[in-house]
Structure 1
Amino acid sequence: MRICVYGTGAIGGFLAARLALGGHDVVAVARGAQLEAIGRRGLTLIGSDGRTEVATDLRAAAGAAEVGPVDVLLVTLKAYQLPPLAAELGAVGRSAELVVPIQNGVPWWYFHRHGGPHDGRPVAAVDPEGALARHLDVGRIVPALAFKAAEVVEPGVIRHMITADDHFPIGELDGSVTGRLRRLSAAFGEAAVEAPVVTDIRARAWGKLLGNLAVNPIGALTGATVAETATHPLSRPLCLRLMEEAIAVAAAFGAAPAYGAQTRLRRAEGMHGIKASMLQDRERGRPMEVGPIVGAVVELAALAEVPVPATEAVHACLALLADRATRLTRDGNTVD
């Protein structure tokens, strides 16, 4: 397959490398030092088992104009990067049979082809103006979820943790099982990436969100690793409370997460030395995904009139942290 991976950070870089090593024609859209590194020496994967793999047979691109026609567009950008690039993503996606967004938190596509009173409604915390649905053909959207821990340790080099739970479930928005889903799953399989076809992608998204909501905010606020957050005697109950609130919101929209709170926390307990993505972003001075992981849960809770006091409190702290970081950057590290 001709595959464009748009956004070559930790997860995007992992997939671009694996797909290229699996024999697919891959173009990786990146920027800055990552773009330069990919163009010069490809992508290096370092597994937690000590194995190192180098993918050199892939092409680096700085934007849509350099991509060309593709069969599949994998969108692995952070959620806050998506709306400003909606038109550019739409330009690449017009040639693709499948547009595969992989995003943390409540996804922008959540209510599209959802049915019911909120069908087609934008999630304001992720896509406030509805730009993504305007520029991307929703009929081509086949979401995937990343159950994978990875980190860019230097430009062009990605360290990833290998666990028995590593997988990238994919599903149609209407829950059907189609030929294009099976072809995509097979393409991932050829690259040694498990991508099972599922009929409940929204429930799976909530299941992934449970883990993100439990450890990302606390990690970003405290600097703790995933395992530390999940096992400390005072933060562990808060992790469970955040997940329980999200489960109640999901239920209000007819979704039962595929993974329960205890299951998600047990997975987190084993991630020793792994930093959640929100903490990685904070340490690197990048914007954090507060909107999709926390703000969108608060938004949907208000829509369904479900009380989420713990999530609201954590959201307030994260919003303050994010706004303060923006102000310090703008003002040249001066506090007003």
Structure 2
Amino acid sequence: MKIAVVGAGAIGGYLGGLLARAGHDVTLIARGAHRDAIRNHGLRVDSKGASFTVHPACTDNPAEAGPQDFVILSLKAPAVPAMAERMLPLFGPDTALLTAMNGVPYWYFHKQGGPLDGTQLESVDPGAKQWALIGPQRAIGSVVWLAGTVAAPGVIHHTSGNGLPIGEPDGSRSDRVQRLSGILTEAGVEAPVHPNIRQEIWTKLWGNLSYNPVSVLTHGTLEGLSRDPDARLVLGKMMEESRQVGQALGIDFPLTIEQRMGAAEKVGPHKTSMLQDLEAGRPMEIGALIGVIAELAQKLRIDTPTIDTVLALLKVRARVAGTYGDM
């Protein structure tokens, strides 16, 4: 299979490395020193005490790779709109796109079947660029339940988790989603076909939309925020408001707010990805993680005063840091 990974960072590099090791024709789309290191020395993946090195093709120009069977999109959300047009040479008539990213994806309301069916989200896809250029019909969804870092250019350190449930927007067990599940599973990733991938998206989103922005405003860790009574008050209100939004879209919330906070506390003194981005001077995933909730609430006429306040302060924090480039 010809598989391109757009965004060969911690997650994309790990997936691309496993797929290359499994014998697939993999092209990594990467930039700068990371690209150069992979070209010159290969990609090394360190995972749970084991290491391996592969030598996939690597370029910063998708046109060099040509049409693929599958494209895995593993960029941070703020980087995607600028990349959408450059990705077009990767797509043939039947190429499918796996979105392996945090937050709500651009295709979320494609074949959703509810009152917002077909809706395009400005906070996630400004100007509907991804919807128009790539098309929602190519999309296969996923939720990333694994973590890692780029330890050095050309070196991926897989730190925890190995789950990547995938699913069609319409919930079907299509030939392409079953084929992709098999490819990923054989490569060493836990990638079952999920019958309701939006439910799985919200399972992760419920924590990200609350803990991520509050961590940026306070510099607290998951454990620290979960134990602080004032932080818990804000987090709880954000979770309750977002639960109302999710339920209006047909999402179930099997955990209580207390249980969800307890799960976050058990992770320990971990910095959220958004806080790590702030400290590294990178744009934060504001639109995909919390801006989209405010946008959905407006469309559904649901009041979300706590989310709106935290979102406004988060944007101020990003402007002060000079990194406010997404919605």
TM-score by length of 1: 0.89
* Aligned amino acid, residue 292 of structure 1: A
The letter for the 2-side match of 1:246 is S
Q: What's the secondary structure of 1:162's corresponding residue?
A: strand
C-alpha spacing 1:249/1:15, structure 2 compared with 1 (3 Å): same
Going from structure 1 to structure 2, the CA distance change for 1:327 and 1:170 (only over 3 Å counts) comes to closer
Aligned to 1:124: 122
Query: Partner of 1:19 in structure 2?
Result: 19
Give secondary structure in 2 for the equivalent of 1:98. Answer: strand
Please name the residue that 1:8 is paired with. Answer: 8
Q: Relative to 1, partners in 2 of residues 1:152 and 1:256: Cα closer, same or farther, differing over 3 Å?
A: same
- Residues 80 and 289 in structure 1, CA contact (< 8 A), matched pair in contact too: yes
Q: Distance in 1 between matches of 2:166 and 2:255?
A: 16
**C-alpha deviation, 1:262, in angstroms:** 4.5
How far, CA to CA, are the matches of 2:84 and 2:142 in structure 1? 18
Mapped to 1, the partners of 2:208 and 2:10 lie a distance apart of 16
1:115 aligns to what? 113
Provide the rounded CA distance (Å) in 2 between the counterparts of 1:128 and 1:118: 17
- Tell me the residue number matched to 2:287: 291
* Runs of 5+ unmatched residues, structure 2: none
Equivalent-residue separation in structure 2 for 1:134 and 1:269 (angstroms): 41
CA distance in 1, matches of 2:207, 2:306: 15
Identity value in percent: 38
The one-letter code matched in structure 1 to 2:316 is: L
The correspondence for 1:171, drawn from 156, 167, 170, is 167
* Residue range with higher mean Cα deviation, 69-78 or 79-88: 79-88
- 2:215/2:272 contact within 8 Å kept: yes
Q: CA deviation at 1:215?
A: 2.0
In structure 1, what residue type is equivalent to 2:174? Answer: T
The answer as to whether partners of 1:44 and 1:52 remain within 8 angstroms in 2 is no
Equivalent AA in structure 2 for residue 36 of structure 1? D
Distance 2:30 2:222 in 1: 27
User: TM-score, normalising length from structure 2?
Assistant: 0.91
- Larger proportion of strand: 2
Pick closer, same or farther for the CA change 1:157–1:252 going to 2, 3 Å.
Answer: same
Superposition map of 1:304-323 within 5 A: 304-323=300-319
Shift of 1:77: 1.1
Q: 1:182 aligns with which of 153, 169, 178?
A: 178
The structure 1 residue matched to 2:85, chosen from 64, 84, 87, is 87
Aligned to 1:78: 76
Listed as ranges, the matches of 1:30-69 within 5 Å are 30-47=30-47, 49=48, 51-69=49-67
Instruction: Tell me whether 1:200 sits opposite 2:189 in the alignment.
Output: no
CA distance in 2, matches of 1:161, 1:82: 25
CA–CA distance in 1 between the matches of 2:278 and 2:269? 17
The aligned counterpart of 2:102 is 104
2:275 matched to which residue of 1? Answer: 279
Q: Report deviation, 1:257.
A: 4.6
Change (3 A) 1:106 1:23: same
- Cα offset for 1:264? 4.0
Moved more, 54-63 or 1-10: 54-63
Structure 1 residue 151: deviation in Å?
A: 2.4
Q: Which residue of the partner structure matches residue 211 of structure 2?
A: 215
Q: Secondary structure at the match of 1:248?
A: helix
In the TM superposition, residue 209 of structure 1 has moved relative to its aligned partner by: 0.5
2:185 and 2:191 in contact (8 A); partners too: yes
Aligned-partner residue type, residue 69 of structure 1: P
For 2:191 and 2:316, locate their aligned partners in 1 and report how far apart those are by CA, in whole Å. Answer: 37
Seen in structure 2, the aligned counterparts of structure 1 residues 94 and 227 have a Cα distance that, compared at 3 Å, is farther
Q: What is the number of residues matched between the two proteins?
A: 325
Please give the secondary structure, in 2, of the residue aligned with 1:251: helix
Unpaired runs of 5+ residues, structure 1, are 330-336
Following superposition, the deviation at residue 309 of structure 1 comes to 1.8
Structure 1 residues 77, 146: closer, same or farther in 2, change over 3 A?
same
SS at match of 2:68: coil
Q: Deviations over 1:44-76 (max 9, x none)?
A: 3334x4x14233231111121121232110011
- Secondary structure at the aligned position of 1:224 is classed as coil
What is the Cα deviation at residue 170 of structure 1? 0.8
Corresponding residue SS for 1:23: coil
Counterpart code for 1:256: D
CA deviation string 1:156-179 (max 9, x = no partner): 23333324xx41111111111112
1:222 Cα deviation (Å)?
2.6
- Which of 228, 231, 249 aligns to 2:245? It is 249
Residue identity matched to 2:107: W
Pairwise CA distance, 1:305: 1.3
How far apart in 2 are the matches of 1:108 and 1:255? 18
- Matched with 1:160 is 158
Name the residue aligned to 1:148.
Answer: 146
Letter in 1 for 2:82: P
Q: Which residue of 1 aligns with 2:265?
A: 269
CA distance in 1, matches of 2:173, 2:66: 29
Q: CA deviation at 1:95?
A: 5.4
